[in-house]
Amino acid sequence: MSRAVKRAFRYRFYPSPGQAAELARTFGCVRKVYNLALSARTEAWTLRQERVSYNATSALLTGWKKTEELAFLNEVSCVPLQQALRHLQVAFTNFFAKRARYPRFKSRKRSPKSAEYTASGFRYRDGLLTLAKMTEPLAMVWSRPLPEGVSPSTVTISQDPAGRWFVSLLCDDVIGETTAGGAVGVDAGLDHLLTLNTGEKIANPRHERADRERLARAQRNLARKEKGSRNRAKARLEVARIHARIADRRRDHLHKLTTRLVRDNQTIVIEDLTVRNMVKNHRLARAISDAAWRQFRTMVEYKAEWHGRDVVVVDRWFPSSKLCSVCGALAETMPLNVRSWTCRCGIVHDRDVNAARNILAEGLSVAACGAGGRPQRESSRMRQPVMKQETRRVTAGVLRL
């Protein structure tokens, strides 16, 4: 059985000076249109309690292009400008549905630089991609081929803080669904990045710690430079490159881990960790951020959706570490420095392996019995009040992907 999915294939490319200038103008115009539309919608609601739709902002864009002050908007392709208005509409939709905060203005220095082109804004033929307002195709580095017979429906151009250029091709791909036996329980940690119920422990590479001295030296060098100088711009670029190196290595490692878990197991049981609250512990915040547990969960979920796997999420309050996986006895306390403990039944437990086994057992029982419900991912993002201790219940849920 096969399923149709949308997949994005990301490649690096090297623009010519003319293409780089054109894309830089496009980024600026996209940011300008987004901020103008956001300002108009905010003003309409504040003064007149009126909601401005996407169609209304599109009409405003036509009027802006006719003014002398904003005539430069005609110099770039209109497709990314329209897409910026659509993105703003999605942001407001998520806000009114209480899935996100109120949209914020884009900053020239801090906001990501990107522009999205739909089918009318680019031409893709024989492996050559040419954007609107350009005469030459992009010099792309094809690190992997697109699936046979697949053409992109949307193209997104971006530039990261390190100055690297990327193109993301969104394609409608068909993935053959495969079957795999067994289930795995996964416990996330810091000493070991992942611990499986089988007893296997996957080391935590600690990418940020490996480059910490180099990063600190580059940041000190940046702090010494005069603001607005060319030397400061060079120093900032060096800091950004180190951050990019750390992020790239971390992402690559997580991709390999999650692909292996999804390929080898039909059911994957993980724990619902509130990383937003956990990083408030200033002693562990840096290590938790480096482990990227949220990114790991995101990768597992979308890859499981592609391949027809089950992802079970166990509630964050489930006492996986304190519960004996053999007799079911619950220990009173379990400080973080205790890595092994002896149950009253005489079994000596490795803290992480025992937690992974309990996570697997809890997830399978809930999946079989249908008890409880999957925790809402939005609850921690919207900072909803935490339930009192007496009202907390151990719940879990299965996400059929």
Choose, from 271, 301, 315, 362, the residue flagged as catalytic.
271
234 and 381: one domain? yes
Write out pLDDT tens, residues 88-138: 999 999 999 999 999 999 999 899 999 999 999 999 998 899 999 999 999
Q: Domain boundary at 129, 149, 176, which?
A: 176
Residues 108 and 76 in one domain: yes
In this prediction, residue 388 has a pLDDT band, given cuts at 50, 70 and 90, of very low
* pTM metric for this prediction: 0.83
The confidence band for 1, taking pLDDT boundaries of 50, 70 and 90, is low
- Is position 75 annotated as part of the catalytic site? no
**221 & 237 share domain:** yes
Number of domains in the chain: 2
Annotated catalytic, 248?
no
pLDDT in tens, 347-364: 888 889 999 999 999 888
In this prediction, residues 64-77 reach a mean pLDDT of: 95
Report d(CA 154, CA 341) in Å as an integer. 54
Token representation of residue 330: 């619950």
Pair (239, 303) in one structural domain: yes
Same domain, 152 and 205: no
Same domain, 169 and 198: no
Among 176, 193, 208, which residue terminates a domain? Answer: 176
Does residue 74 carry a pLDDT above 90? yes
My answer on whether 348 and 242 are in the same domain is yes
Final residue belonging to a domain, choices 115, 148, 176? 176
pLDDT at 3: 78
Residues 56 and 106 in one domain: yes
**Per-residue model confidence as pLDDT tens digits over 12-24:** 999 999 999 999 9
- What are the pLDDT digits (tens) for 251-269? 999 999 999 999 999 999 9
Q: Domain check: are 25 and 169 in the same one? A: yes
For residue 333, the model assigns a pLDDT of 83
pLDDT at 381 over 90: no
Asked if residue 232 and residue 99 are part of one domain, the reply reads no
From the candidates 173, 187, 208, 362, give the one annotated as an active-site residue.
Answer: 187
| 352 is a catalytic site residue | yes
Please indicate, yes or no, whether residues 65 and 48 belong to a single structural domain of this protein.
Answer: yes
Same domain, 219 and 340: yes
* Domain containing residue 322: 183-400
